[in-house]
Amino acid sequence: METTTLNYREVLKNKEKIVVKIGTSSLTFENGRLNFLRIEKIVNVLSTLRKQNKKVLLVTSGAIAVGAGRLGFVEKPKDLAKKQALAAIGQAELMKIYQKFFAEHGQSVAQVLLTKDVVTIPVRHQNAKKTLNKLLDLGIIPIINENDTISTYEIVFGDNDTLSAIVASLIDADLLIMFSDIDGLYTGDPRFDKNATLIKTVTKIDDNLIEKANGAGTSFSTGGMITKLAAAKICFEAGIDMVITNGKDPAIIFDILEAKEIGTHFHPLKN
């Protein structure tokens, strides 16, 4: 049994240290251009959480899409070096927007670009952990992305799904909220399968579940459900709750924190 009808949502009411992951498809229109209204909404929500004294970290994608927009590219390039160049351009632009929008709510942000070294090299791991915790102590919202210019993991694999779970476990978060372009994990691909239903709670990740998650994704994002399950696995190992939900309306975070049945809740059962 990988899914359950039991409801563990009550635990979400007391979450204090929250990582929010937002992917390219939630930040942009279908043409890959930034959706400022959407960004404004997410900034609004995270600022409110900060004002409630919660600790908030944002893991964001979108650098390549923003870079492509800046240079007037109609389609996202396939060439890796070009993508990395666009990421260097776009990351600076993306931070500028976040800084500007967060400042409107009196919030300060910091840019933290990570590579997978934070997992594999203990010194890097310690440094990143200390830096992030210090930022949180200072009341600052860390805005995290993979360092696309020198690292290719996100570009090739996961639209930051894995990175967000790594960050969550690094700082010992209480909750990872993952915004997607669909409502959560389904029993099939809801775009093609009419009988697909939303799985509300997951307490165990096995091959059967991974099979259900095959496919899913849009032209500007590379993360499907598979990478989200990989992220959930990392969270489970660290004992962290995770919720996958639709990024259309970021204010849904408030409902999630009130234990309402939204999206798919991954709850690690204590042994």
Partner 1 sequence: MKRDKLRIVFRVEFITLTDNGKDINPRKFDRFVRVVSNLRNSGKDVIIVSSGAIALGLLKCKDKNNMIDENCLTDLQAVAAIGQAELIREYQKFFDEYNQIVAQVLYVSDINGNQERIENARNTFNTLLDMGIIPVVNENDAVSTIDIELNDNYPLAVRIAEITNSDIIIIKSENENEYLIIAKGAKQVIVVKNEIELYDKIKNINKIIVPEGKFPATLKELELLKN
For partner 1, the binding residues (CB under 8 A) are: 28-31, 33-37, 40, 66, 69-70, 72, 93, 96, 100
CA–CA gap between residue 166 and residue 163 (Å, rounded): 5
**C-beta of 34: minimal distance to partner 1 in Å?**
6
Query: In which residue are the tokens 């563990």 written?
Result: 8
- Least distance CB 215 / partner 1 (angstroms): 26
Residue 247 CB, shortest distance to partner 1, in Å, is 16
User: Could you tell me which residues are beta bridge partners of residue 201?
Assistant: 265
CB of 30 to partner 1, least distance (A): 8
Extract the tokens encoding 139: 């009341």
Q: Decide whether 97 or 238 has the Cβ nearer to partner 1.
A: 97
Would you say 19 or 34 has its CB closer to partner 1?
Answer: 34
Contacts of 166 (CB under 8 A, 6+ apart): 114, 116, 118, 119, 234
Taking the least distance from each CB to partner 1, the nearer of 34 and 163 is: 34
Measured from the CB atom, is 33 or 204 closer to partner 1?
A: 33
Q: Which amino acid is residue 71, in one-letter code?
A: L
What is the DSSP code string of 25-68?
Answer: HHHB-TTS-B-HHHHHHHHHHHHHHHHTT-EEEEEE--HHHHHH
The least CB distance from residue 31 to partner 1, in Å, is 5
Taking the least distance from each CB to partner 1, the nearer of 100 and 130 is: 100
Ordered alpha helix ranges (H), the chain: 24-27, 36-51, 63-70, 80-103, 117-120, 122-137, 153, 161-170, 207-212, 225-238, 252-256
Q: Are β-strands 109-114 and 17-22 bridged in parallel, bridged antiparallel, or unpaired?
A: unpaired
